[in-house]
Amino acid sequence: MQFDLVIKGGTVVSPGCRSGKLDVAIEGNRIAAIESSFPPDAAARVVDAGGLIVTPGLVDLHTHVYHNATYWGIVADPVAARTGVTTWLDVGSAGAYNFGGFRRWIVEPSHARIFALLNISSIGLAAPTWELANLNYCDVDMCCRIVDVSRDLILGIKCRMDANTTGGSMEPLRRARSAADNCGLPLMVHVGIGPPTIEQVLDLMRPGDILTHCFTGHNMRIVDERGLLLECAKRARDTGVVFDIGHGAGSFHSIRRGR
């Protein structure tokens, strides 16, 4: 027997690799070979994947997994096991005050790989809203200090911009912009209910930044009432701002109009 395991008869979907109905052979903890077919005695164990998709682990770039410590968190591992999402990006559940607990109690025990965007609010998503209403929590220097000692996990800065979170102020976004620039990291901005306006938000975004919940059903979406892309969104797209749908359940109405 040549291999430890052959996954047989599945449909391989793998960017940068062969795709189609193929067999995948595994030796130790590595993919050893991908062929149209291996003989039944090629491996100690054969798994029939007929009718199934065989793919490298998926990446979800918008999650909240700081469970039992923040308002929105779920437990990553059970979901990872049944969905094939092996790499998770938690977008702003933790801020500077509680990132140490996120590392110790969420990232380190998890079988899934978890990375993070650090919330510009030092308390993260401890409550459903208002984490940016008190500007004492928007401490750029502290945010950057946590990034500097956590670059193995922190991939960017997160800021929620809607009236329920900021009270309509642009100052949290300006501070998030400063933190991202000082740290050399991208910025993800959540939009929902204005003020501010989507134009004001996009004016502070740079190439490589991410606008999330871009099809929100509220008044900061990137399409107008006719479903046409706003001019400010076109400019942002052309300069390299990335649009992220975020959770689809809150955006389907706007997506239908924008098709």
Q: Enumerate domains of the chain plus CATH numbers.
A: 3-54 (2.30.40.10), 58-258 (3.20.20.140)
Q: Tens of pLDDT along 122-136?
A: 999 999 999 999 999
Mean pLDDT of the chain: 94
Instruction: Please state, as a whole number, how many other Cβ atoms lie within 10 Å of the Cβ of residue 137.
Output: 22
Compute the C-alpha angle 85/92/236, nearest 5°.
90
CA pair distance 203, 221, nearest whole angstrom: 15
DSSP-assigned states of every residue in 195-206 = SS-HHHHHHT--
Q: Tens of pLDDT along 27-85?
A: 999 999 999 999 989 999 999 999 999 999 999 999 999 999 999 899 999 999 999 99
Look up residue 105 and give its DSSP letter. I
Q: What is the pLDDT of residue 18?
A: 83
Q: What is the mean pLDDT of residues 109-116?
A: 98
Nearest residue to 224 (alpha-carbon basis) of 249, 196, 189, 199: 199
Q: Tens of pLDDT along 38-48?
A: 998 999 999 99
Give the sheet arrangement for strand 58-63, strand by strand. Answer: 58-63, 85-91, 113-119, 154-161, 187-191, 210-212, 242-244
Question: What is the reported pTM?
Answer: 0.91
Q: What is the pLDDT of residue 250?
A: 61
